[in-house]
Structure 1
Amino acid sequence: MHALGRRRFLVQNTAIAAAAATSLSLVPRRARAAANDRMKVAFIGVGGRGGSNLKAITATGKVDVVALCDVDSRFVENTAKQFPAARKFQDFRKLYDAVGKEIDAAVVSTTEHTHAFATMPALQLGKHVYCEKPLAYNIAETRAVTEAAARAGVVTQMGTQIHAGENYHRVVELIQSGAIGDVHEAHVWVGRAWGLQSEADAKKNDRLFVDSRPATGMTPPSYLDWDLWLGPAPKRPFHNVYFPGPNWYRWWDFGNGTMSDLGSHWNDLPYWALQLDAPQTVEAFGPPAHPEIAPASMSAEYHYGQRGDRVPVKLTWHQGTHKPEIWKRGEIPQWNSGVLFIGSKGMLLSDYRKHLLLPEDDFTDFVPPEPFIPDSPGHHEEWVAACLSGGQTGSPFSYAGPLTEANHLGNVAYRVGKKITWDPVNMKCVGCPEADPFIRREPRSGWSLS
């Protein structure tokens, strides 16, 4: 179970705290989606990642596809060939107006900046929701979605598929059973280097090179509703440096770069294993922040306080060319991406699929604890099962929301260029009003979370 710690109870309202405290054993009020053990689902975003989610969820054989929606009409038309009975939409607001009352659940796989706006109507209607990671574009939107999910009492799941894997389960068991003692330091690093960098580096590391907003626009392709794609983001002309995905990923108006994307997967492991909550302080390091484009390489240092009997911990995120010093010195295996826990009795190194106890000679005769985290039938499968008959998901919004907020704080610290002290109750950086625009933004006219 996710024991989320006392300080998170101060972060969120009573309803959220109650949900968070039992996030893996919570049986939602609306657990049974349909009397015949099937549920009617609307899929919002059906290309790329959305297509993968649709395939995995329909493969359970327990889902009727009621509606398909995508701002790119090609994806809707192609997907509709498989599901001819489904109604077709480009605007998810119209989808909810038309079929919102008849669906049991929604699956949201849009671009990051529209996650909250596509998810909130389903929660307000009391529908179960699966939403891709990160949960929302910024901290304020994330908090709003987390609170709405707690009020709705429905089954939720954020798209951190690795959370359901056996390796993450075993690592959490090792850390929480004290295999390496008290963990006072942890490092997370990812090799991906997409974002602002030199043209030479971009040729080696990235999909494209861009260092400023284009001076002129382009004509959008006929199959794309560009205004709907922009959604709540500030209006700007179409250009192929934003679309197709994941080109948008690097632009602050639409995404938050590697931190919010891969951070959802990689920071998930220490967040879960160490029972983290809201960080006390965050400080970021890297090149000067660009007003438009997220960096390819940077790092962020989080400090978390005492959590029950768990000691304070420093967690450092590294992306792109940034790596932990212990990695640079060759004192651990130099995996391209990984998570390192440093404890009083040793270290644990993990990636998505494997882990090592270090120094290996010290753990030759080590006997791991008996597994105590139940095996998952699969990330998507557990969501469908919980929607239909109650039970649990591994990454409900009560857990995924605070994780997403913490990831966003790394970018907030980077963009203000100084160490921040976080007030989670008021969603403020103490004595740092310049951080406010990175915590929340006013959506474009015609878009609202209320």
Structure 2
Amino acid sequence: MIEDKEYSTTENSRRNFIKTTALAAAGFMIVPRHVLGGKGFLAPSDRLQLAGIGAGGKGESDIADIVKGGKTDVAFLCDVDDRRAANSRRNFPKAKYYKDYRELLDKEAKNIDAVTVSTPDHTHAQIAMAAMQLGKHVYVQKPLTHDIYEARVLTEAAKRYQVVTQMGNQGASGDGVRRLQEWYDAGRIGKVHTVYCWTDRPVWPQGIAWPSAKAEVPKELDWNLWLGSAPYKDYIDKMVPFNWRGWWDYGTGAIGDMGCHLVEPPFRVLGLNTPVSVECSVGTVYVDEFKRGYFPESCPPSSHVIMTFNKTEKKKNDIQVHWMDGGIKPERPEELGPNERFGDNGVLFIGTKGKMICETYGKNPRLLPLSRNESDKTRISIPRVPGQEAGHYTQFAEAAIAGYGKMQLSSPFEIAGPLTETLLIANLAIRGTDVQRKNAAGQISYPGRDLKMLWDKVNMKVTNFDDVNQFVKREYRQGWSLGV
């Protein structure tokens, strides 16, 4: 069991994190290295030596965006697929290239200051942990981890190894979430009791059987390295670069992909931690008109999860957060006119005195009805991050150069860890709806569909349906370890 340390943060610091974010953009003095001192500290006059692990797709843009902030050199690139890494290798021809991150870190640790991790979900934790144990600052794509246990371990490790951390939910540095916070703190919508978050994801296959026909592994792809800690399976067509999101061995479904962008605004604005209970219903798939399909390896085509967060001194009432994906949306607010856009991805806050709404990343925040925005006089009281989403990357680079504890970030692991845990707890409920049991007569039931699953945060377990606790901490394939 990992000792519960409340992620080295209090609800008050979480609510006020955004008010100190300006430190991330305020700049810093040029001082001698001996003044900063300590492992992982660089003099601000130095340049950050970056290793990009996962160099294609989102990794390609992550690396490029950190470099745009200045003072960063891409010293190393690493990817298991030469095709995906091709653009980054052309963009940074001086960067030495590796396929195995373990070889990279083993041979080049002394030449690396920071690492980006932009790989499939199931490999985030092992790479990030290996880098942190070497004293390297880490920028990790969302969701932070694949498993709840991994999220807890990485959150604690960031403090233990005293490294700068940031998760790749760039909306955390945007103006939108700050405006929502200002409205809420000013009492514009009263006490929030219900939040709806919805997305049109998945836009990849889900609710399907694992293909029976294996495909030829592309010559540029090291399939064994791509699998990493996941169970060995033969390669299937179109798994790479995107469709892995719909398979539980590798991805975390729609909420793993979009939850860090959509659940993040209420998580911060309302000072949420992890839920005390989750319940869920999922879209069903039928193999024919009478028989429901059973595809436990694949995420469902749609889901609706209700997460309940207990009241605290600051939250005087329990709060329910609804997650909806696969095209499911909440009832259209009556305050919206018939031709006013509701959106395919968004967040709706419902309070005792009104409502407010935003889009993905917290963008386009609005009070409802929309006419309220024309006369709103709420002052801007929370410092903004220059560049907003783009500034999310610059913020990490500058904090890494300044050194651990010198600057406040928008999404360090002390915040990103509990947010990721929350999303993965929701996934326990989603997976629980597909857990089969057979009685003595051989009849199948799905007991998890009818339960409100109760979450024990300290012990990281569901207390009333043990079947899903197998997903809290998965078994790694032989030869792979989290290193703790």
**Corresponding residue of 1:200:** none
Q: Contact 1:194 / 1:295 at 8 angstroms: preserved in 2? A: no
Q: Could you say which residue in structure 2 is the equivalent of 1:437?
A: 470
Residues 183 and 368 (structure 1 numbering): CA distance in 2 closer, same or farther, change over 3 Å?
Answer: same
The structural deviation recorded for 1:60 is 2.1
What is the one-letter code of the residue matched to 1:102?
N
- Cα distance change on mapping 1:30 and 1:387 into 2, 3 Å: farther
Question: Structure 2 residue aligned with 1:408, among 411, 414, 424?
Answer: 424
Q: 1:186 deviation in Å?
A: 0.7
Confirm or deny: 8 A CA contact 1:11 1:424 kept in the other structure.
Answer: no
CA–CA separation in structure 1 for the residues paired with 2:411 and 2:46: 23
Determine if the alignment matches structure 1 residue 312 to structure 2 residue 309: no
Aligned to 2:275: 279
Rounded Cα–Cα distance in structure 1 between residues aligned with 2:133 and 2:11: 17
SS in 2 for 1:444: coil
Q: How many angstroms does 1:363 deviate by?
A: 6.1
Instruction: Indicate if the aligned counterparts of 1:194 and 1:296 stay in contact, CA closer than 8 A.
Output: no
Deviation at 1:164, TM superposition (A): 1.2
The answer to whether the Cα contact below 8 Å between 2:148 and 2:421 also exists between their aligned partners in 1 is: yes
* 8 Å contact from structure 2 (residues 114, 138) kept in 1: yes
Corresponding residue to 2:295 among 287, 290, 295: 290
Between the aligned partners of 2:224 and 2:462, the Cα distance in structure 1 is: 33
Counterparts of residues 165-184 of structure 1 (less than 5 Å): 165-184=174-193
Q: RMSD across aligned C-alpha pairs, in angstroms?
A: 2.6
Q: In the superposition, relative to structure 1, how do residues 387 and 431 fare at CA in structure 2: closer, same or farther (>3 Å)? A: same
**CA shift digits 1:146-183 (9 cap, x unpaired):** 11112112111000011111122211221233211111
Which residue type is aligned with residue 358 of structure 1?
Answer: L
Q: 2:375 aligns with which of 352, 357, 365?
A: 365
**CA distance, structure 1, for counterparts of residue 7 and residue 76 of structure 2:** 31
The 5 A counterparts of 1:75-94 are: 75-94=84-103
How far apart, CA to CA, are the structure 2 residues paired with 1:329 and 1:175?
Answer: 18
Q: Is the CA contact 2:166–2:396 (under 8 Å) kept in the aligned structure 1?
A: yes
> Matches of 2:376 and 2:44 in 1, distance apart?
49
Aligned positions of 1:20-419 closer than 5 A: 21=13, 32-34=41-43, 36-194=45-203, 211-243=208-240, 245-288=241-284, 290-310=295-315, 311-326=317-332, 333-352=341-360, 353-361=363-371, 365-377=375-387, 378-389=391-402, 390-417=406-433, 418-419=451-452
Asked if 1 retains the 8 angstrom alpha-carbon contact of 2:335 and 2:368, the reply is no
| C-alpha distance after superposition, 1:71-90 (max 9, x if no partner) | 00234454333333322110
Report the Cα offset of residue 214 of structure 1.
1.4
Q: Check conservation: 1:105, 1:128, Cα contact below 8 A.
A: yes
Equivalent-residue separation in structure 2 for 1:15 and 1:320 (angstroms): 32
**Bigger mean CA offset, 330-339 vs 311-320:** 330-339
In 1, Cα distance between equivalents of 2:171 and 2:54:
21
**Normalised TM-score (structure 2):** 0.83
Counterpart residue number, 1:16: 8
Amino acid at match of 1:284: C
CA distance in 2, matches of 1:108, 1:319: 26
Sort the Cα spacing of 1:248 and 1:20 in 2 relative to 1 into closer, same or farther, 3 A. farther
Higher mean C-alpha displacement, 378-387 vs 15-24 = 15-24
Distance (Å, rounded) in 1 between the aligned partners of 2:117 and 2:180: 29
Asked if 2 retains the 8 angstrom alpha-carbon contact of 1:65 and 1:86, the reply is yes
Once the two structures are overlaid, the 10-residue window that deviates more, 146-155 or 268-277, is 146-155
Task: State the TM-score, normalized to the length of structure 1.
Answer: 0.89
Q: CA deviation at 1:287?
A: 2.7
- Taking only the aligned residue pairs, the percentage that are identical comes to 36
Alpha-carbon displacement from aligned partner over 1:218-258 (angstroms, at most 9, x marks no partner): 12010000000000000000111412x21111011100111
Which deviates the most, 394-403 or 306-315? 306-315
- Measured in 2, the distance between the counterparts of 1:322 and 1:274 equals 24
Classify 1:21/1:356 alpha carbon distance in 2 versus 1 (closer, same or farther; 3 Å).
closer
Q: Which letter maps to 1:218?
A: A
Q: Quote how far apart the aligned CAs of 1:313 are.
A: 0.7
CA gap 1:376/1:420 in 2 versus in 1, 3 angstroms: farther
Amino acid at match of 1:415: R
Contact 2:77 2:89 survives alignment (8 Å): yes
3-state SS of paired residue (1:422):
strand
- SS of aligned partner of 1:325: coil
Tell me how far apart the structure 2 counterparts of residues 386 and 96 of structure 1 sit (CA, whole Å).
21
Do the aligned partners of residues 370 and 286 (structure 1) sit closer, same or farther apart at CA in structure 2, a change above 3 Å counting? same
Q: Which deviates more, 61-70 or 396-405?
A: 61-70
Q: Rate the CA distance shift 1:254–1:329 in 2: closer, same or farther, 3 A.
A: farther
1:15/1:150 contact within 8 Å kept: no
User: Secondary structure of 1:157's partner?
Assistant: strand
Question: For 1:422, which of 455, 478, 481 is the aligned residue?
Answer: 455
> Is the CA contact 2:349–2:357 (under 8 Å) kept in the aligned structure 1?
yes
8 Å CA contact 1:195, 1:293 repeated in 2: no
Q: Tell me how many residue pairs correspond in the alignment.
A: 428
**8 Å CA contact 1:15, 1:151 repeated in 2:** no
Look at both structures and tell me which one has the larger radius of gyration over its CA atoms. Answer: 2
Describe the superposition over 1:288-322 as per-residue Cα deviations: whole angstroms up to 9, x where unpaired: 57301112311100111113221221110111221
Deviation at 1:433?
Answer: 1.2
**Structure 2 alignment gaps of length 5 or more:** 24-35, 285-293, 434-450
* Larger deviation, residues 147-156 vs 221-230: 147-156
- After superposition, the Cα gap between the structure-2 partners of 1:362 and 1:16, relative to the gap in structure 1 and judged at 3 Å, is closer
Residue number in structure 1 paired with 2:29:
none
